Amino acid sequence: EIVMTQSPATLSVSPGERATLSCRASQSVYSNLAWYQQNPGQAPRLLIYDASTRATGIPARFSGSGSGTEFTLTIASLQSEDFAVYYCQQYYDWYTFGQGTRLEIK
């Protein structure tokens, strides 16, 4: 099973600043990687697929990069609604998720 490791577990950033979240795969997943945002009590929402393609309706301040085993989600100029938990997921070989990064207000 491909293990996904996200860092940091918690990230404290001020509104208006940039947030950078990392995700590492235990083996190459090529570009078969997605990022999701989850707010308390809600379902995850797809932000990015194929490592760098924004899903429909996702603001341009969200961007994804990377391939192989190292991936990054960048949120430029954080808005209040962006403080949530973020998960990466690989879909190259079955589906496995990272443990999540909690983005909190500094």
Q: Candidates 11, 49, 78, 84: give the one binding another protein (CB under 8 A).
A: 49
Nearest CA to 103 among 75, 61, 65?
Answer: 75
Q: How many residues bind another protein (CB under 8 A)?
A: 25
Q: Candidates 99, 104, 105, 106: give the one binding another protein (CB under 8 A).
A: 99
Residues in the site for another protein, rule: CB under 8 A? 1, 31-32, 34, 36, 42-46, 49-50, 53, 55, 87, 89, 91-92, 94-100
